[in-house]
Chain A
Amino acid sequence: MRRTPLIAEHRAAGAKLTEFAGWEMPLHYGSQIEEHHAVRRDAGVFDTSHMLTLDVEGAAAREFLRRALANDVAKLQSPGNWLYSCLLAEDGGILDDLIAYFLGGSRFRLVLNAATAEDDLAWLERLRPAGVELRARRDLAMLAVQGPRAREKFQAAFPGLQDRDDAFFAPTGYTGEDGFELLLPAADAPDAWRRLLAAGVRPCGLGARDTLRLEAGLMLYGQDMDAGVTPLECALAWTVDLSAGRDFVGRQALAARAPRFQTLGLVLQTRGGVLRAHQAVHGDHGEGVVTSGSYSPTLQASIALARLPLASRPGERVQVAVRERRLEARIVKPPFVRRGRILV
């Protein structure tokens, strides 16, 4: 299994380790529910060094990404600007989701999912024109510092770090809370991690990361989306830029391929179990299926993302097959929680 530069820190913090996409990663450090609450109420830090940072450089970098991504990097005009996008196959299926940052000049940076990183690289290498260079930055570590007090605690831990040339800050995350992601040289990551913990930032594992992103209504690649679905089918139409005059990969297929279903949220209305991926959903408009489900520590109820018939609407009730029973759930429009507030 591959290990991030922070593996010794995870062990020192009492992590329960698990295999994720070929990486040995922390699942939790004792209580994933408390880690979840720490991010909603205070500050937490995640090691996200398993994700692939890919720098895209060269005179044609912007034009290349305008063709490769479903969202349009033409919007990124100032260094630090960023956007979320899907990487589509020619048939409109989703190969990955990513964040693209503009570094200035003709330099961009993509952050890709660990599980799809190698396939993404091969795909982008195929699309790459002369004059564009792809550089996998396995020399960098990545920390996501998230929560309402993330910035304040970070400042206390690292006065002056923001001015360093070799540290990269992005105002992104995967939790629905304020915070940022920090890329820095791998050798500096353990010290950064220890300083954050000393400043009272709680180490958080993949378990809390999953319940936080689910509450925030953020899709997970491989679960809520994959090569078999289009962005229009998983609530990501807003990330596809259909402005005239840009021929991105998958555009023609998307225009010809009518969505078969939509992705919405569910809140379980009774006790009786926990919503989980693959459970069948029965409603007035037809059948559906849960793609991600768990217990929401903030709502203290089970919530899910589900593929539902196109006629389904928020507010309607459906039945979810949980073991041998059918439990009632209410359809909602995600997110469930943002910035510590329940929205459904």
Chain B
Amino acid sequence: MEFPDELRYTSTHEWVRKEPDGTLSVGITDHAQDALGEMVFVELPAPGRQVRGGDQCAVVESVKAASDVYAPLAGEVVAANTGLADEPGRLNRDPYGTWLFRLKPADGADLSGLLDAAAYRKGLT
């Protein structure tokens, strides 16, 4: 199972990527997609929504179960990956290439409180 070094992680199994424009892409980890199984539905937040770190922000549903996806940091939702509605299986096939939503982090919100790949991996064992 892979956990790319350039990403940051949460203990609730989201990954976070800092984009060149300063926004944060958020998806679910390889571990999360593997544990949930084949995805059949995603519910995404509306752009413009203000979230706090830890807020329930999206839902992914596999054949087996529904699971909440949490905002890793405070900020504003600026984009949702709406194409996923027709192809939720991309979350299984390419977990790190498939973001769910993008956040514009609030002032003062920074990535240093998130886990690096080694720490996330350690939390799984």
Residues of A within 8 A of B (CB): 16, 27-28, 31-33, 207, 211, 271-274, 276, 294-295, 297, 302, 323
Contact = CB atoms under 8 A, between A and B. Distances in A.
A274 B61 contact: yes
A273 B43 CA distance: 8
A207 B37 contact: yes
Given A28-B37, A272-B43, A274-B41, A207 B85 contact: no
Interface string B57-77: 001010111100000000000
A271 B66 contact: no
B66 to A, nearest CB: 7
Interface string B23-58: 000000000001001101101000000000000000
A271 B37 contact: no
Contact of A207 (B34, B41, B59, B64): B64
Given A207-B63, A273-B61, A32 B38 contact: yes
Contacts, number: 38
Nearest to B89: A33
Interface residues of B, number: 13
13 contacts: A16-B34, A27-B37, A32-B38, A33-B63, A207-B64, A211-B63, A273-B59, A274-B40, A274-B66, A294-B63, A295-B40, A323-B43, A323-B59
Contacts of A297: 63
A140 B61 CA distance: 37
Q: Which among B59, B61, B64 has the highest number of chain A CB atoms within 10 Å?
A: B64
Contact of A295 (B34, B41, B85): B41
A297 B64 CA distance: 12
Contacts of B61: 273-274, 295
A144 to B, nearest CB: 20
A276 B66 contact: yes
Contacts of B37: 27-28, 32, 207
A62 B93 CA distance: 54
A145 to B, nearest CB: 23
Contacts of B34: 16
A193 B22 CA distance: 54
A300 to B, nearest CB: 9
B63 A295 contact: yes
Contact of B38 (A33, A272, A276, A323): A33
Contacts of B85: 271
Contacts of B41: 271, 273-274, 295, 302
A16 B64 CA distance: 13
Contacts of A273: 41, 43, 59, 61, 66
Nearest to A300: B40
Given A271-B41, A274-B61, A274-B66, 4 more contacts: A28-B37, A31-B38, A211-B63, A323-B43
Contacts of A323: 43, 59, 66
Nearest to B88: A295
Given A207-B37, A295-B41, A32 B66 contact: no
B38 to A, nearest CB: 5
B98 to A, nearest CB: 17
